[in-house]
Amino acid sequence: MRRDVFQAIADPTRRAILYHIALEGKTPNVLAQHFHSSRQAVSKHIKILTECGLVKQEQSGREIYYYINPKKLKEIDKWLQPFRTMWEDRFGQLDNLLKNQKTKRS
């Protein structure tokens, strides 16, 4: 079953897993140490992240390391772009308003 990236990142534990593997790959055992849940529960979250393509796995000896897939994150970034533009415009308008208020008071 192929999952949607937005469904995957809706869960705070899965977002935290992405955060923990952003810089380097980690095994499920290492990841589980960061959570108050079992290794099996963390593995289920990893499975969902893998199914939607946000995480890829690589075998090294007996260990499986999980890495973030930055290409798949672009799908999220692309969806967020219109909102980012809107927020930047609104913050720019707020900055201008505050500058005008400050100028009027001086």
pLDDT of 2 reads 66
Average pLDDT, rounded, for the chain: 91
pLDDT per residue as tens digits for the range 1-42:
567 899 899 999 999 999 999 999 999 999 999 999 888 999
Q: The CATH number of 5-105 is which of 1.10.10.10, 3.40.630.10, 1.20.1250.20, 3.50.50.60?
A: 1.10.10.10
| Distant-in-sequence, close-in-space partners of 21: CB < 8 Å, separation ≥ 6 | 31, 55, 66, 67, 68
Element (H, E) at 58: strand 55-60
pLDDT per residue as tens digits for the range 43-94:
999 999 999 999 999 999 999 999 999 999 898 899 999 999 999 999 999 9
3-class secondary-structure state, position 62: coil
pLDDT of 104 reads 82
Distances (CA, A) of 60 to 28, 48, 50, 66: 13, 21, 17, 11
